[in-house]
Amino acid sequence: DSAKPAALRRLIAPTAAPPSTGETAKKHWYEAVSIRGYMQVRYNRLLETNPDLKCEQCDKSWGDNGGIFFRRIRLIVYGQLHPRIYFYLQPDFASTPGGSTSGHFGQIRDAYFDIGLDANSQFRVRLGQSKIPYGFENMQSSQNRLALDRNDALNSAVVNERDLGAFLYWAPTKIRQRFASLVSDGLKGSGDYGVLALGAFNGQAANRAEQNNGLHVVARLSYPFLIGKQIIEPGLQAYTGRYALSTDQLSRGVKYCPTMNYVDQRAAASFVLYPQPLGFQAEYNVGRGPEFNAATDSIETRRLHGGYATVSYRARVGGQQFYPFVRGQHYEGGKKYERDARSYHVRELEIGLEWQPLKFLELVPMYTISSRRFEDYQTQGNRQRGRLLRLQAQLNF
Amino acid sequence: DSAKPAALRRLIAPTAAPPSTGETAKKHWYEAVSIRGYMQVRYNRLLETNPDLKCEQCDKSWGDNGGIFFRRIRLIVYGQLHPRIYFYLQPDFASTPGGSTSGHFGQIRDAYFDIGLDANSQFRVRLGQSKIPYGFENMQSSQNRLALDRNDALNSAVVNERDLGAFLYWAPTKIRQRFASLVSDGLKGSGDYGVLALGAFNGQAANRAEQNNGLHVVARLSYPFLIGKQIIEPGLQAYTGRYALSTDQLSRGVKYCPTMNYVDQRAAASFVLYPQPLGFQAEYNVGRGPEFNAATDSIETRRLHGGYATVSYRARVGGQQFYPFVRGQHYEGGKKYERDARSYHVRELEIGLEWQPLKFLELVPMYTISSRRFEDYQTQGNRQRGRLLRLQAQLNF
Amino acid sequence: DSAKPAALRRLIAPTAAPPSTGETAKKHWYEAVSIRGYMQVRYNRLLETNPDLKCEQCDKSWGDNGGIFFRRIRLIVYGQLHPRIYFYLQPDFASTPGGSTSGHFGQIRDAYFDIGLDANSQFRVRLGQSKIPYGFENMQSSQNRLALDRNDALNSAVVNERDLGAFLYWAPTKIRQRFASLVSDGLKGSGDYGVLALGAFNGQAANRAEQNNGLHVVARLSYPFLIGKQIIEPGLQAYTGRYALSTDQLSRGVKYCPTMNYVDQRAAASFVLYPQPLGFQAEYNVGRGPEFNAATDSIETRRLHGGYATVSYRARVGGQQFYPFVRGQHYEGGKKYERDARSYHVRELEIGLEWQPLKFLELVPMYTISSRRFEDYQTQGNRQRGRLLRLQAQLNF
């Protein structure tokens, strides 16, 4: 029997038979499908001046009672199955189900597939859960970002950066190659979300079921210009929709709109100069959305605005890479995903260094100077200032 | 050091040492173990006439407030490790833990291994969580089924089709080959659950712990006859056991049997004509089980019956495949897994087309005309009629 | 286009671009990363004399209403990425989130990476969630252990054996090779946790967030001596820290220390004679920790002590392996992870046989004779004695 394992496999286990038609027979599964991943371990308690300074969306281990912490444990299964078909499946194993006292469960971040509409997939439709094309830093992978967490101003638009929807991306082949090399050459690109992007999505954020009868819509335009040896990428993007608050995020006693549905609209401008060797990146957004108002004890539709600017430098020394960086950020507005659409006023300065002794390992010390007012019905008047040293070790496989 | 990676791997990381004896040394892990999977994205809101028409077991995104939805995200790890040993491990990443407000967590569907009792594994014992051999459509993979959801009548026997148990399967080698080719040739077979199947299982359904001291038992007989070029497969199956209601599925105020244990018995007949090119498939089952009775406000042991018939056609046009189909179904009885063992009366007609432009991609539009009464203690008298267009895109990898 | 799949892959899917610098280009992903795993199916209800005899930490399917049960479903992704960099990622798919009525979700057991400080990684730093170097049987994989569950005495120190932290391991190359061969040669070794181990970790156990501002620290010394053809391994280990009870583990009415923080300190001695063919293994630990006291209705810091001894024999018959074994164990003390830091008095004798007909399959019948007092605020005076036959089938892939 052992002389004909393929025949036996088919014979003994037909329940698991792979897709049928001819093409796969030529390719082994491990040539069509690849696996990679990364994990991030953090510690935020050194040189901490204020244990009440916290940041729910950044990293739950800031401040009092925080310890050693997994920010992300990612396992990625992906493949270009056909010139027109690509898929990407990424669970995160640092996730906690609502109501559970233990964490580190596997939950989907990305699960999507691309269908090329032309032979070169210059036009692609993407179906499933994937990043919303809103904000350069939102789309840039955490594996590549310099600052440990995304900026509050644009990241408050889409928690976990993703949602379930259908998206159309367009970019000419030459620009698709440029998007690809901006990542593979270590320039910290965003990946290819097209020159032009259009999409419709549920609007309740990743891994949350739709809660109303209207989809959000988003559009984005971004182009990486080659100017001499430098590459700059300006971009514009906007989305609109209605966000439905859920009862489990409301404090007892807070007032809110009876439909629990709120306008959710934003527009942003982005500018990137890729680090050859000096990099600069800035984004700003304005919009409207639900926000807790302490003056009225109620959740109201209010204006929001904010952004950030990062200056970085890329140095290569004997096969190792060093990226010192400084980021300043500012945000005033609500965070619709948090309790009572918590109201925020954030000013923060971060000074850090990403060191890659090997491509498999990245070490980041980052010093954060922060002022954060974050108020909901239960924490009115809560404003915290402080400084802390943050440490991260990242393993890439 | 880099000159001898295998020795180093053993040296540096012995914690992870693989099984010991000689055989594995000859085979790479990726030759013994394979990975494949599929995902299904849906949208059910077009041409919808009644937003109160829902179907909990089918697809939670029907009707009011429904949106774009993942029905399944499957990752399968499997392998024929030895002529007598096969394993299959399949988490679904579209699952939600009880009590969690966010979903898309990875939860086991299948986790089993087969032990061949003879050299050709004509007799096999299967241990672990796997499909219960009850109902052809239940055993047929969702990757292959034409209609978007399984029929209510037979699927209400075993939610998620699976349970934890021990099963004995027997089939002669020639028939095992036929079961295999019915899947691999695109004929939408069920996979190999034997000509004869016998099993014992907990009876509380997949991923639920046993709740009483008696196992369910099941038996099945099914044979694929070759008649000229056509293949037909008639089958008979039955199971019996006691199902224990759990307190978390009871409405406050509903009356129920003090032991919370109910008789759970069914028998079914199946008939399949595989589509070469015209296909026909029908199943019917009768039985007894817990069901909410609005007349007495109580959960009682009641009779149930129902089935379905599907007519399909297989057309291949230039490497693409088209399967138009029509399915009518009927069910009267309880659903033991739902609140108060919800009472159902279902009549439904579905007209659809499965289009496979590539083996990696399947697109299904399906028009559903439905009448559903579904009553529990909180929804007495709830009867909904309506029509809707359902859409699915499926990616196979 | 199909003539250049690699270029296309880069072109079409840059979002998923792998790490950048040159080295990976030479190695396929499946050569750098490997996948293996195992699963354990159990049944504990045969010859049972007392359905009220249970063991929460061992196996939740003991006793009344227990059925067929998955104790572990493990999928391991690991690799020696570089002579100095190793990673190990192991979710368990037999886990249940707190509050969920269904189980078999994927939750991390191990997620760590090793960074070699010297060229041969004689000194290694391990970051992430991994086994705490406390107790030989704790570190030995369940895939290799003879008795179905770990002993109460040492395993009550670290539920699931793991925590999030940073560890330093040292061992000379020759001893690292010996640790490796103790596993790969079927001698049931612990894997390589160094001759000397030092570590700091959160102290709330695997997958639980830190709950206070102090880390636990641990140290261990263990050395496998070669004496003629026999190998013995004596070891010493100790840890100290403060454990924070969480409100969800307290009964209403139980009294406890206002800070909810308790001293948590232990020291243990280990001795192993590896089975060539006769094996002997014994461990004992003493310490202090939280424990429910029925006399005062309160959770107090109390002394604890206990250990076990196992005698085993290894027989190889025609490519098959047989390991008969006997284990006696004893424990008096609290279990800090259980409700009200439940108080235990355990005496247990187990007689079993591990049979490996193939390296892929292990079958264990084990007869258990047990006396267990386990008391919390709700179960005062609860003492259970009984006997049962336990069965396990394990699949290794």
Tens of pLDDT, residue by residue over B242-281, are 999 999 999 999 999 999 999 999 999 999 999 999 999 9
Give the number of beta-carbon pairs within 8 Å between A and C. Answer: 198
Neighboring chain A residues of B189 at a CB cutoff of 8 Å: 14
* Residue A20 domain flag: no
- Strand intervals (E) in A171-254: 196-201, 216-222, 225-227, 230-244
Q: Which of A83, A96, A358 sits opposite C1 (nearest CB)?
A: A83
Rounded alpha-carbon distances, angstroms, from residue B386 to B42, B51, B290, B368, B383: 19, 8, 27, 8, 10
Question: What is the DSSP annotation of A302-325?
Answer: EEEEEEEEEEEE-EEETTEEEEEE
Domain membership of residue B216 (yes or no) is yes
Q: What confidence score (pLDDT) does residue B10 get? A: 42
Tokens matching residue A195: 């020159």
Look at residue A128 in the predicted model and tell me its pLDDT: 98
- Nearest chain B residue to C63, by CA: B213
Residue B205, min C-alpha distance to chain C (Å): 10
- Choose the closest CB to C105 out of B5, B8, B106: B106
CB contact under 8 A, C165 and A68: yes
Contact C35 B29 (CB under 8 A): yes
pLDDT mean across residues, chain C: 93
- pLDDT score at B26: 76
Distance CA B317, CA A391 (A): 58
Read off the pLDDT band of C117 (50, 70, 90): very high
Q: Are A377 and A292 in contact (CB under 8 A)?
A: yes
Q: What is the pLDDT of residue A26?
A: 76
Prediction ipTM score:
0.93
- Indicate the angle between helix axes C173-184 and B5-12, nearest 10 degrees: 90
Chain A partners within 8 Å of C95 (Cβ): 105
Q: Which chains touch B (3 or more CB pairs under 8 A)?
A: A, C
Interatomic CA distance for residues C290 and C163, integer angstroms? 19
B35 to A32: CB separation less than 8 angstroms, yes or no: no
Chain B residue closest to C91 (CA)?
A: B106
Residue of chain A with shortest Cα separation from C2: A83
Shortest CA distance to B113 belongs to which of B175, B164, B62?
B164
In a domain, B346, yes or no: yes
CB contact under 8 A, C35 and B33: yes
CB atoms within 10 A of CB B232: 14
Q: Nearest CB to A202: which of B51, B68, B173?
A: B68
The full DSSP string for C141-207 is -TTT-SSSS--HHHHTTSGGGEEEEEEEEE--HHHHHHHHHHHHTTS-------SEEEEEE-SS-TT
Task: Assess contact for C21 and A359: CB atoms under 8 A.
Answer: yes
Q: Is residue B22 part of a domain?
A: no
Q: Which residues of A touch C246 (CB under 8 A)?
A: 101
Which whole number is the average pLDDT over C344-362?
98
Burial of A196 (0-12, 13-18, 19+ CB in 10 A): middle
CB B217 within 8 A of CB B132: no
Q: Which residues are CB-neighbours of C280 under 8 A, at least 6 positions away?
A: C271, C272, C273, C309, C310, C311, C312
Contacts of residue A100 in chain B, CB cutoff 8 Å?
A: 97, 99-100
Please state the rounded mean pLDDT for residues C314-327: 96
Nearest to B62 by CA among B75, B48, B76, B73: B48
Which among B42, B391, B174, B21 is positioned nearest to C319, based on CA atoms? B21
pLDDT band at C92 (very low <50, low <70, confident <90, very high): very high
Mutate to test the interface with C, among B2, B8, B11, B15 (most CBs of C within 10 A): B15
Total Cβ atoms within 10 A of residue A1: 15
Q: Quick check: C147 pLDDT over 60?
A: yes
Residue C357: inside a domain:
yes
Q: Where are the beta strands (DSSP E) in A171-211?
A: 196-201
A17 domain-assigned:
no
User: In this predicted model, what pLDDT tens digit does every residue of C151-174 receive, in sequence order?
Assistant: 999 999 999 999 999 999 999 999
For residue B262, what are the CA distances in angstroms to B116, B216, B296, C58? 35, 12, 17, 30
Supply the DSSP string of B262-313, one letter for each residue: EEEEEEEEEEEE--SSEEEEEEEEEEEEEEEETTTTEEEEEEEEEEEEEEEE
- CB contact at 8 A, A342 and A292: yes
Cβ within 8 Å, pair C10-A67: no
Among all residues of chain C, which has the CA nearest to that of A178? C11
The bridge status of strand A261-273 relative to strand A298-313 is unpaired
* pLDDT (tens digit per residue) in C67-91: 999 999 999 999 999 999 999 999 9
Number of domains in chain A: 1
Structure tokens at A112: 């999507």
Tokens of C106: 């994927």
Biggest distance spanned by C-alpha atoms of chain A = 79
Q: Residue C55 in 3-state DSSP?
A: coil
DSSP B140: S
Residue contact C102–B107, C-beta within 8 A: yes
Residue A191 falls within a domain, yes or no? yes
Do the Cβ atoms of A114 and C165 come within 8 Å?
A: no
Taking only the tens place, the pLDDT of each residue in C14-49 is: 343 444 444 445 799 999 999 999 999 999 999 999
Q: Residue C261: which pLDDT band, with cuts at 50, 70 and 90? A: very high
> Using an 8 Å Cβ cutoff, are C159 and C205 in contact?
yes
Find the domain containing B57 and state its range.
29-396
Interatomic CA distance for residues C94 and C104, integer angstroms: 4
Q: Note whether C176 and B15 are within 8 A (CB).
A: no
pLDDT(C4) > 60: no
Chain C residues in contact with A99 (beta carbon < 8 A): 97-100
Indicate whether B387 belongs to any domain.
Answer: yes
Residue A41: its chain C contacts at CB < 8 A? 127-128, 164
Task: Kindly determine whether residue A16 and residue B116, on different chains, have CB atoms separated by under 8 Å.
Answer: no
Least Cα separation, residue B111 to chain A (angstroms): 12
Write the residue in C32, C98, C164 that is nearest to A101 by C-beta: C98
In this prediction, residues C299-312 reach a mean pLDDT of 98
Query: Looking at residues C60-72, what average pLDDT do you find?
Result: 96
Question: Which residues of chain B are within 8 Å of residue C39 when distances are taken between CB atoms?
Answer: 87, 89, 111, 113, 128
Residues of C with Cβ-Cβ distance to A180 under 8 angstroms: 10-11, 14, 17
Query: Hey, are the CB atoms on C8 and A184 less than 8 Å from each other?
Result: no
Asked if residue A161 lies in contact with residue A136, where contact means CB atoms within 8 angstroms, the answer is no
Q: Do the Cβ atoms of B210 and C61 come within 8 Å? A: yes
pLDDT, averaged in runs of 10, over chain A (397 residues) = 41 41 69 98 97 92 96 98 98 96 97 97 98 98 95 96 98 97 94 97 97 97 97 98 95 96 98 98 98 97 98 96 98 97 98 97 98 96 97 98
Best C1, C11, C12 residue to mutate vs chain A (most A CBs within 10 Å): C12
Give the residue ranges of chain B where pLDDT is below 50.
1-24
Instruction: CATH number of the domain at B321, please.
Output: 2.40.160.10
